[in-house]
A = this chain, B = another copy of it.
Amino acid sequence: MGDVFKALADPTRRALLDELQERDDQTLFELCTRLLHRGFSSSRQAVSQHLDVLEQAGLVRRRREGRYTFHSLDTSPLKAITDRWRTGP
């Protein structure tokens, strides 16, 4: 299992999580074009590598269908963050 904290360190990866929260099950090209509308000018390969990191961190799941690869969000690893440094009961 990869590092969840390092996965969240990059602003482009956080924007990808934002995008997947608005609309789940998006392909790589969909995510690329939608990132452009958010002001991120990332190439296809760059976005693909970011999704690799997010997948290794357990934050994104990949599902291959034909020539499309759909990506879905999984926010369960984020619970460990606030559970680790608990502010109140």
Contact = CB atoms under 8 A, between A and B. Distances in A.
B79 A87 contact: yes
Interface in A51-89: 73, 75-76, 78-79, 81-82, 84-87
Copies in the complex: 2
A81 B79 contact: no
Interface of A is mostly: helix
A44 interface: no
Contacts of A40: none
Given A5-B14, A18-B84, A79-B82, 15 more contacts: A3-B9, A5-B5, A5-B9, A8-B9, A9-B9, A14-B84, A17-B85, A75-B85, A75-B87, A76-B87, A78-B82, A78-B85, A78-B87, A81-B82, A82-B82
A62 B76 CA distance: 33
The 6 tightest CB contacts between A and B, nearest first, are A9-B9, A75-B87, A5-B8, A75-B85, A6-B9, A5-B9
